[in-house]
Amino acid sequence: KVKNTKYRLNYHMMPPVGWMNDPNGFVQYNGEYHLFYQHNPYAAQWGPMHWGHAKSRDLVNWEHLPVALAPSEYYDNGTIDDHGCFSGSAIEKDSELYLLYTGHSIERNPMQVQCIAKSRDGIDFIKENQNPVIDHFPKDGSKDFRDPKVWEYDNQYYMVVGSNKDGKGKALFYQSSNLIEWEYRGVVAESNGKQGDMWECPDLFPLEEEHALIFSPMYGEKNEKPIIIFGEMDYKKAKFSQGKSMLLDYGHDFYAPQTLIDEKGRRIMIGWMDMWFSKRPSEEDDWAGAMTIPRELTYNQNGKFVQKPIEELKTLRKNHHQMEGFDIDGVQRLPDLDGSATELCIDFDIANSDSSVFGLQLRCSKDRSEKTMIKVDTINEEIIVDLTSAGKGESGIHKAPYRSNTNGKLNLRLFLDTTSLEVFVNHGEQVITNRIYPHASSNEVDLFAEGGKIKVLNVDKWSLRSVWK
Ligand code: FRU
């Protein structure tokens, strides 16, 4: 049990106790969503990696299940995962659930190999006798060879694995007819020189007419913001044509996202709502790490790629407040908007306003010495999340570009939880995710406008209930 619940979130996935990093094995199996995650059950710090496990019917209410994978297995050919079951994915075959993960060893050379564990009930997993199913990195890779993501296409199984060579991050591509025997097909995509020297957690999937590749790049020892690249996948040539790319999230606390396709045909992504360099005040209470809210990856009516909070999140809503058509000039507290676990949806009319910097102050203390600011800078077309006075956590300033809609309007949809803030700009065109650690009593909300007035068209606000007991 955790020592103190003060930093626990209301409606985000988090470990019951101990450490959590990447989402793993995100899949729908027998109608239920399963989410595994990199987990150290014994401490609030990273350690020998287990796969923690939870399931859900709606991706909102979660039930914790027993740890699915633990390190330290010995085989005839030596140890494979003594130092951890690293990140990977899940897929169903002949009604069994297969987990594909990286066995990490400090005794074996090479240190990272790909392994399988199977289950008939989705709860108890047995590691495959034939592990490792890929026992060595290929010529195009290196000892950093991890995070297999598997999918099925045209009666074949495919896998991308993250690696690097010659200073470039790479996605290595494999094919199989049975999930056990894998043929190496080549480098399916690699860094263009500016996208990192190591790719962690690659995920390649169809998205409407195209394919998309997401990965979490490293630059030297440093992990950086996950990237999405759009392009066409040629399975025959084993090549992904790398077209346009963008950051999936402009905040500090977003890493190692993974997607699934569900029975409704939705491509849903969830990410680790922290990263290696995050501050984690909750460690003193024996836990650390959380997941973002699930986001549906899709295109809007203008053909723009968007990340939409999944519909099911609406079931968390209670106590609706609405305000329509008013101007803000200076700073104004709006008492109806207060709260620490809330959803706020605001439409601004930029075209008919004269303020060039406006926005919100959230999680404010009475004296305003503590506050989390969201500023819209209409001259530079940037949304800025300013954490300088946000409390105990990270204190950086995070900027995302935006374009006001053709009609000069801007929509901000904010998901606040006790220790997090996820900002969706223009219905998911950009997202900015951060953990924040203000005092529980810092709950007031202001709207502000500098150098003139801002026209607020509409505000909807809900309190969001807790899904944890
Ligand atoms: C990404 C990562 C993965 C690895 C796992 C280890 O955050 O470094 O590449 O499999 O975490 O916990």
HEC string of the chain equals: CCCCCCCCCCCCCCCCCEEEEEEEEEEEECCEEEEEEEEECCCCCCCCEEEEEEEECCCCCEEEEEEEECCCCEECCEECCCCEEEEEEEEEECCEEEEEEEEECCCCCCCEEEEEEEECCCCCCEECCCCCCECCCCCCCCCCCEEEEEEEECCEEEEEEEEEECCEEEEEEEEECCCCCCEEEEEEEECCCCCCCEEEEEEEEEECCEEEEEEEEEECCEECCCEEEEECEECCCCEECCCCEEECCCCCCCEEEEEEECCCCCEEEEEECCCCCCCCHHHHHCEECCECCCEEEEECCCCCEEEEECHHHHHHEEEEEEEEEEEEEEEEECHHHCCCCEEEEEEEECCCCCCCEEEEEEEECCCCCCCEEEEEECCCCEEEEECCCCCCCCCCEEEEECCCCCCCEEEEEEEEECCEEEEEECCCCEEEEEECCCCCCCCEEEEEEEEEEEEEEEEEEEEECCCCC
Nearest CA to 309 among 84, 148, 462?
A: 462
| Ligand 1 midpoint to CA 164 (Å) | 14
Residues 6+ apart with CB under 8 A from 121: none
The ligand 1 atom nearest the CA atom of 200 = 9
Q: Name the band, by pLDDT with cuts 50, 70 and 90, for residue 78.
A: low
| Ligand 1 midpoint to CA 375 (Å) | 33
Q: Residue 42 corresponds to which tokens in the numbers above?
A: 């014994």
Domains assigned to the chain: 18-299 (2.115.10.20), 317-464 (2.60.120.560)
Q: Specify which residues 280 forms β-bridges with.
A: none
Residue 321 main-chain phi, psi, to 5 deg = -125, 140
Q: Residue 370 corresponds to which tokens in the numbers above?
A: 């503590």
Ligand 1 pocket mutation, candidates 39, 113, 201, 214, criterion most atoms within 8 A of CB: 201
For the beta sheet containing 50-56, the strands, ordered from the edge strand earlier in sequence to the opposite edge, are 62-69, 50-56, 32-40, 18-29, 287-288
For the beta sheet containing 146-153, the strands, ordered from the edge strand earlier in sequence to the opposite edge, are 146-153, 156-165, 168-176, 183-190
pLDDT reported for residue 73: 65
The ligand 1 atom nearest the CA atom of 223 = 7
Alpha-carbon distance of 104 to 81, in angstroms, equals 5
Task: For 135-144, write each residue's pLDDT tens digit.
Answer: 999 999 999 9
Centre a 10 Å sphere on the Cβ of residue 41 and count the other Cβ atoms it contains. Answer: 15
Dmax of the chain from CA atoms? 74
Statement: residue 77 has pLDDT above 70: no
Q: Name the band, by pLDDT with cuts 50, 70 and 90, for residue 108.
A: confident
| Ligand 1 midpoint to CA 226 (Å) | 13
pLDDT reported for residue 422: 98
Vertex 296 angle, CA 291 and 298, to 5°: 145
Ligand 1 pocket, 144 CB below 6 A? no
Of 41-45, 66-70, 78-82, 206-210, where does mean pLDDT reach its minimum?
A: 78-82
Give the sign of the dihedral formed by CA 98, CA 133, CA 153, CA 247. Answer: positive
pLDDT reported for residue 279: 95
Statement: residue 79 has pLDDT above 90: no
Alpha-carbon distance of 90 to 136, in angstroms, equals 21
Ligand 1 pocket, 112 CB below 6 A? no
The ligand 1 atom nearest the CA atom of 255 = 7
| Ligand 1 midpoint to CA 336 (Å) | 42
Statement: residue 74 has pLDDT above 70: no
Q: Name the band, by pLDDT with cuts 50, 70 and 90, for residue 87.
A: very high
Task: For 237-261, write each residue's pLDDT tens digit.
Answer: 999 999 999 999 999 999 999 999 9
Between 199 and 469, the higher pLDDT residue? 199
Ligand 1 pocket, 200 CB below 6 A? yes
Active-site residue, 147 included: no
Read off the pTM: 0.97
Q: Name the band, by pLDDT with cuts 50, 70 and 90, for residue 404.
A: confident
| Ligand 1 midpoint to CA 387 (Å) | 27
Vertex 162 angle, CA 100 and 253, to 5°: 95
Q: Name the band, by pLDDT with cuts 50, 70 and 90, for residue 75.
A: low
Ligand 1 pocket, 38 CB below 6 A? yes
ipTM: 0.99
pLDDT reported for residue 406: 72
Task: For 284-304, write each residue's pLDDT tens digit.
Answer: 999 999 999 999 999 999 999
Q: Phi-psi bin for 262: left (phi > 0), alpha (psi -120 to 50), beta?
A: beta
Alpha-carbon distance of 55 to 123, in angstroms, equals 10
**Mean pLDDT of the region 180-187:** 98
Nearest CA to 17 among 42, 47, 37, 46?
A: 42
Q: Closest residue (by CA) to atom 9 of ligand 1?
A: 200
Alpha-carbon distance of 89 to 146, in angstroms, equals 11
Task: For 321-377, write each residue's pLDDT tens digit.
Answer: 999 999 999 999 999 999 999 999 999 999 999 999 999 999 999 999 999 999 999
